[in-house]
Amino acid sequence: MKRRPDTALTLGSTLVLALLAAPGPAQAAVRAQLGDHGDYSRLVLSVPKGVEPVAVVDGCVLRIGVPDPLRWPLASLRDSFSRRLSDFVTADGGRSLTATVPCGARVASFMERRTLIVDVGGPPVPGVKPETPGDGAVEGTPDAVVAITPPEVGAIGVAEVVEALNPIGTANAAPVTLAPPEQSPLPPGERVRVRGERGEDSRERHEVHPPHPDPLPGGERETKGERENPPLPVVASLEGEVRDNIQQTLRQLERMPERPAKPVPQTAEPPKPPAPPPIGAMDLAGWAGDDFNRTREALQAALDTAQARARVEAQIAVVRFLLARAMDEEGRAALETAASLSPAPDQRYALRILGDAFRALDREDGPDDNLFVQLPAGAMPDHHVWRSVALAPTRWAAAKEGLPIALRRLLDYPADLRSRLLTTLATAADEAGDSAALNLIVLEMITVDSKGMADGRLDYFRGRLAELKATPDAALERYDAAAGLRRGPFARRAEVRAIELRRSLGRLDEDGAIKALEALRFAWRGDDIETDALAALGGAYARSGRTEAALDIFGLLGRRFGASTRGRDALAAGRTLLAAVLDRLEQSPPGGLYALALQARHGRLVTLVDGSDGGLRLRLATLLLRDGYGLEATRILHALTEGATGPRRAELGATLARALIDGGREGEALDVLARTGGSALEPVLAERRALLRADALLGDGDTVRALDALRGLGGAEAARLRAEGLFAAGEWRAARTAFAELAATGAEPTADDLALQGLSAYLAGDAEGLRGFGPAQRARLAGTRWAGLLDALAPPPADGPLRAESVERDLAAATALDRLARGWRKSP
């Protein structure tokens, strides 16, 4: 007996399911289709009426945003496999849909009525022209989705044709007629899939076909009946589809004319990221506004009421206002605030441009990653302005290329910003000694900013220009005019420069300059110009021989200003002072303690002050080696060598190896030479390194390898090392001959050379060789540790009785030689 269903229960269940499935009033549903073509993937979204989605690509993420929350078909999209679209996620409460795409992929999107179509192609391949979707298909025919019932196949075998046509993609497949709706076994809206023979979960043979190329409801090619009942594709077997595609491809190849194959790229280089867009014009006068307070209040009011993207735009407007007013510290804080508001990609790019402008305004030392430096300036005047300002502090030769365009554009800039930028350009031209460029900048200062530069800035740069033109009297007149203002950093800097110029002209002695600078130092304690005054005072101390006071000033610069906002100016002033101190120490006799005190007390500051080439530290290391402080010198040389590259590294490695050999650390010298070598070295440097290696091997006791390293090398140093190697190997006669021939190379024999030559002759039994030493050689040995050696080694007279004094002299010489031999063997 059959059980009758409960009608009430069935009706209630149906109502509950209908209520659960019905979309809420606040969130409309989105229909989606996803599929892969041969060289691109397509995502089709049918959105509710009145919704305008926006597709944006941010790196490797595709983001589709809508103004109101929607219900996205995540389950359907995640179940669909695509080679270029994956990881679908909703965000912002349903206002956006994100998906992962290949980094650098070509993405195109367009809107057709209520449907958004997004095509995602692969990344561009270097050397290959990118193809548009549908290349290779017959013109005027849509792409095929699946094949209908398999046609009959002739004598051609499927496996043979598939293998023969393997390089030909499915993009050339001919279109087919879709099955009528009544033949489709799938319900409306279900996606068509063709699965492989290994099961439904297999990805090796899993293929998802893209939707119909005209998926738009209500399109021009659709009839009224088709809008109501859209046709659905029929799933065919994989074998039938392959056969149909093969035969269609063969027929197309017969009709197509022959064309050369596309060239295969030689190297599979990774795709380069797309170049950033060019930098547009800047309305700096409009950004600044006519009234400071009124403009700032208006910007703050707009920022308080804005939301989402508009809030980021309002914050960008604030940053632009601060840039136009040359308020760098407030501008950097506003940039950080804007970055925390999750800006869109185009907004991030605008913020980066503004950030690079603030960096140029602050005279940053590393401009290579600045967009104004990386991108070509073209004909954009604002780009020339900021490019010149960014390059001016470090690379003036490149900065002055766009200087005429930059100066013309600066005429329209706000007064505060123009004054800052002109000062940066004038300072760089002054440091580079470019009088022509400085003259152009000073002329513009006189023309437009003479009133705004009443702090002595204009007179200071006019004095610097007069100095570059070798007119010191005119320079002093300008410096005195600027110093008479008694306010502002440029007035004080002009006063310091006037003292230095009078001292160089002989109108002020060293003591008078020191007194004047000391008075300025204590009168301006804490002012912006104090670093320049301290550097000038320290240089005067160094020149007058008061090295201890100069070192104190050098340490004061580092302690007081090294970590402040004036740190860069303080380090520049300290670099000048350190060079003056090293000049003084190089003129002093060897054996002093000032070089050691400089390294011990201010070693870290010396590293900070020194430039990238390490020239000041190398000079200090040379002084330490001269004064006998090899350990401190080798530490400096180690640091310089590790930070250098190329031939510079090889040269510093040779200097370090020489210091280690002189200190008795031959094994370390060999390691340094092995780590700092190279194949593309100059012959002179390569020969020097070879001699150092032979010297280190000889000192390390490896005589055979040392003599082998000297093979093919000429010159006095190679001859001396070869003679010492023969002496160490016990080849007495060869060593005696080598030392005797040393003078023939043009080198003056040293006391060690003469002593080893006499010992070689004595050990070889050459009495006549010992008698050959004349008074000149004996005088060279006098006063050294070899004094009396030739008399001790001289043979006794052939006849006559022995005298007591001769016996005592021989015994004393034997004792001295024994003590010397024990010292050579490094034994007590």
Its pTM stands at: 0.52
- 365-368: long-range contacts (C-beta < 8 A, 24 or more apart)? 365/393, 365/394, 365/568, 366/394, 367/391, 367/394, 367/395
- Per cent of the chain over pLDDT 90 is 24
Res. 207: pLDDT tops 70:
no
Query: Helix 457-468 to helix 435-448 angle, to the nearest 10 degrees?
Result: 150
Among 339-343, 366-370, 646-650, which is the least confidently predicted range? 366-370
Q: How confident is the model at residue 233 (pLDDT cuts 50, 70, 90)?
A: very low
Pick the closest to residue 51 from 7, 95, 21, 10 (CA basis): 95
In whole angstroms, give the CA distance from residue 624 to residue 655: 13
Amino acid at 658: R
Encode pLDDT of 768-803 as tens digits. 667 667 777 778 787 777 777 777 677 666 666 666
517 vs 12: which has the higher pLDDT: 517
Question: How high is the pLDDT of residue 561?
Answer: 61
Encode pLDDT of 530-587 as tens digits. 777 788 888 888 888 888 888 888 887 777 665 444 556 667 777 888 888 898 899 8
Res. 51: pLDDT tops 70:
yes
Question: How high is the pLDDT of residue 809?
Answer: 65
Encode pLDDT of 622-633 as tens digits. 999 999 999 999
The encoded tokens of residue 92 equal 């912002």
Question: How high is the pLDDT of residue 728?
Answer: 85
Helix H segments across 73-165?
74-79, 158-164
Pick the closest to residue 607 from 586, 635, 587 (CA basis): 635
Q: What is the 3-state secondary structure (H, E, C) of 281-329?
A: CCCHHHHHCCCHHHHHHHHHHHHHHCCHHHHHHHHHHHHHHHHHCCCHH
Contact 408, 375 (CB under 8 A): no
Res. 209: pLDDT tops 80:
no
Question: How high is the pLDDT of residue 224?
Answer: 43
Q: What is the dihedral of CA 77, 41, 253, 145, to 10 degrees?
A: 20
The encoded tokens of residue 212 equal 């119909």
Sign of CA dihedral 224, 225, 229, 232: negative
Question: How high is the pLDDT of residue 17?
Answer: 43
Mean pLDDT of 740-762: 80
Among 31-35, 453-457, 642-646, 726-730, which is the least confidently predicted range? 453-457
Question: How high is the pLDDT of residue 260?
Answer: 52
Question: How high is the pLDDT of residue 239?
Answer: 61
Question: How high is the pLDDT of residue 358?
Answer: 93
Res. 138: pLDDT tops 50:
no
Question: How high is the pLDDT of residue 560?
Answer: 65
Question: How high is the pLDDT of residue 187?
Answer: 40
* Count of beta carbons in the 10 Å neighbourhood of residue 677: 15
Question: How high is the pLDDT of residue 635?
Answer: 93
In whole angstroms, give the CA distance from residue 368 to residue 330: 24
With a CB cutoff of 8 Å and minimum separation 6, the contacts of 687 are 713
DSSP 40: E
Q: In what order do the strands lie in the sheet with 31-36?
A: 31-36, 40-46, 115-121, 107-112
Report DSSP letters for 611-638, one per residue.
Answer: -TT-HHHHHHHHHHHHTT-HHHHHHHHH
Distance, C-alpha 539 to centroid of its chain = 35
Mean pLDDT of 482-511: 84
| Residue found by looking up tokens 């020969």 in the block | 687
Please provide the average confidence, as pLDDT, over all residues in the chain.
Answer: 76
Encode pLDDT of 60-93 as tens digits. 888 888 888 888 888 888 878 788 888 888 888 8
Question: How high is the pLDDT of residue 241?
Answer: 67
Res. 810: pLDDT tops 70:
no
395 vs 529: which has the higher pLDDT: 395
Question: How high is the pLDDT of residue 269?
Answer: 57
Mean pLDDT of 497-521: 85
Question: How high is the pLDDT of residue 563?
Answer: 46
Question: How high is the pLDDT of residue 464?
Answer: 93
Pick the closest to residue 554 from 597, 503, 507 (CA basis): 597
| Residue found by looking up tokens 């005054």 in the block | 533
Question: How high is the pLDDT of residue 265?
Answer: 54
Mean pLDDT of 585-614: 87
Mean pLDDT of 40-55: 85
Sign of CA dihedral 116, 120, 121, 123: positive
In whole angstroms, give the CA distance from residue 754 to residue 772: 12
29: left (phi over 0), alpha (psi -120 to 50) or beta: beta
Encode pLDDT of 662-715 as tens digits. 888 999 999 999 999 877 788 889 999 999 999 999 888 888 898 888 888 888
Contact 691, 717 (CB under 8 A): yes
163 vs 400: which has the higher pLDDT: 400
Contact 630, 662 (CB under 8 A): yes
Which helix (H) or strand (E) segment holds residue 98: the answer is strand 96-100
Report DSSP letters for 165-194, one per residue.
Answer: TTTS-GGGPPP-PPPPGGG--SPTTPPPEE
Question: How high is the pLDDT of residue 184?
Answer: 38
Half-sphere exposure of 483 (CA within 13 A, CB side): 17
Question: How high is the pLDDT of residue 490?
Answer: 84
Question: How high is the pLDDT of residue 198?
Answer: 41
669 vs 276: which has the higher pLDDT: 669
| Residue found by looking up tokens 């020339």 in the block | 384
Q: What angle do CA 802, 807, 812 make, to 5 degrees?
A: 165
Res. 745: pLDDT tops 90:
no
Encode pLDDT of 413-456 as tens digits. 998 899 999 999 999 999 899 999 999 999 998 887 666 577 78
Question: How high is the pLDDT of residue 124?
Answer: 64
Q: How confident is the model at residue 806 (pLDDT cuts 50, 70, 90)?
A: low
Return phi, psi of residue 325, to 5°.
Answer: -90, 5
Question: How high is the pLDDT of residue 254?
Answer: 59
Strand extents, DSSP E, 369-465: none
Question: How high is the pLDDT of residue 349?
Answer: 92
* Count of beta carbons in the 10 Å neighbourhood of residue 734: 17
Distance, C-alpha 1 to centroid of its chain = 86
Pick the closest to residue 620 from 452, 610, 612 (CA basis): 610
Contact 413, 285 (CB under 8 A): yes
Question: How high is the pLDDT of residue 311?
Answer: 92
Q: How confident is the model at residue 31 (pLDDT cuts 50, 70, 90)?
A: confident
